[in-house]
């Protein structure tokens, strides 16, 4: 079994149901150990789009990292994610943040996720469920010190 961290995001339709359905589909091959709260987050990158609902999970899986990516992309297709513009609106986006303590760099997969450290919508929920985690040699708290006011609210 490998320990994994995934980030989920959605900004179209019924966002809470989208996350819940994605978790249901993930649970076919991933044992979900911890779930962060849902966070309402302002769009990063392309601004003129609805706010996102984001969360992070910790899990365990027997899938290899490549098969996990394939499985996650299949869930996105099943939920009819339509590719629009880069950083644009989406029903569901599933990113692999960490896979054990491996560093992977293939054409299709980079782990740790190359943009995770710049994103409050990833690091804040990650801190909620794994405050002691070290990412590329840094504590999450240290990484979060460089954030500059990206708006993010934990849902009650």
Ligand X SMILES: Nc1ncnc2c1ncn2[C@@H]1O[C@H](COP(=O)(O)OP(=O)(O)OP(=O)(O)O)[C@@H](O)[C@H]1O
Ligand Y SMILES: Nc1nc2c(c(=O)[nH]1)N=C(CO)CN2
**Binding of ligand Y by 9 (CB under 6 A):** yes
Residues from 85 through 104 that contact ligand Y (CB under 6 A): 87, 93
Residue 49, both tokens: 């789009």
* Known catalytic membership, residue 154: no
Total chain residues near ligand X (CB under 6 A): 12
List b or e across 130-141, with b for residues whose CB sees 16 or more CB atoms inside 10 angstroms: beebebeeeebe
- Contact pick of 53, 75, 96, 120 for ligand X (by CB under 6 A): 96
Residue 40 makes contact with ligand X by CB under 6 A? no
90 among known catalytic residues: yes
| Contact partner, 96, from ligand X, ligand Y, none, Cβ < 5-8 Å per class | ligand X
Provide the terminal-to-terminal Cα distance of the chain, rounded to the nearest Å.
33
Which positions are catalytic?
81, 90, 93, 95
């Amino acid at each position: 079994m490998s320990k994994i961290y995934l980030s989920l995001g959605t900004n179209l339709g019924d966002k809470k149901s989208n996350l819940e359905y994605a978790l249901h589909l993930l649970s076919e091959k991933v044992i979900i150990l911890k779930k962060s709260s849902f966070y309402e987050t302002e769009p990063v990158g392309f601004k003129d789009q609805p706010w996102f609902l984001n969360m992070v999970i910790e899990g365990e899986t027997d899938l290899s990292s490549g098969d996990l990516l394939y499985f996650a992309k299949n869930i996105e297709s099943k939920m009819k994610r339509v590719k629009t513009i880069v950083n644009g609106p989406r029903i569901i986006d599933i990113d692999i943040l960490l896979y054990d303590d491996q560093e992977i760099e293939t054409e299709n997969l980079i782990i740790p996720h190359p943009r995770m450290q710049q994103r409050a919508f990833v690091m804040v929920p990650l801190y909620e469920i794994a405050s002691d985690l070290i990412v590329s040699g840094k504590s999450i708290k240290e990484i979060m010190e460089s954030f500059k006011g990206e708006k993010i609210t934990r849902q009650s």
